[in-house]
Amino acid sequence: MEGYAVLKHPKYEVYLDKSEEFRFRLKARNGQIVAVSEGYTSMKNCLKGIASVKKNAVDAPVVQE
């Protein structure tokens, strides 16, 4: 896709937002952001959020509402 760098692997990026909360975003191989987290008050809790997504989203069903 135009405007996105091609990555070797998908990756999680952790960053501090304007409100000084930690967030993570998941980037696809094409560099496009496919998910963004809620804000966390600490880096530790942000990393726990990533671990939770890795653990719990693997078998999550797709639901159309």
Domain enclosing residue 33, as ranges: 11-56
Residue closest to 11 by CA, chosen among 3, 23, 29: 29
Where in 1-65 does DSSP place strands (E)? 11-16, 22-27, 33-36
Q: Which pTM does this prediction carry?
A: 0.79
Residue 39: what pLDDT? 98
- The CATH code of the domain that includes 30 is 3.30.160.160
The tens-digit pLDDT sequence of the chain (65 residues) is 566 666 678 899 999 999 999 999 999 988 899 999 999 999 999 999 999 999 998 888 999 98
Backbone angle region of 12, left / alpha / beta, with phi > 0 → left and psi within -120 to 50 → alpha: beta
Tell me the residue type at 19. S
Residue 33: what pLDDT? 94
Q: Which residues contact 52 (CB under 8 A, 6 or more apart)?
A: none
Domain count, the chain: 1
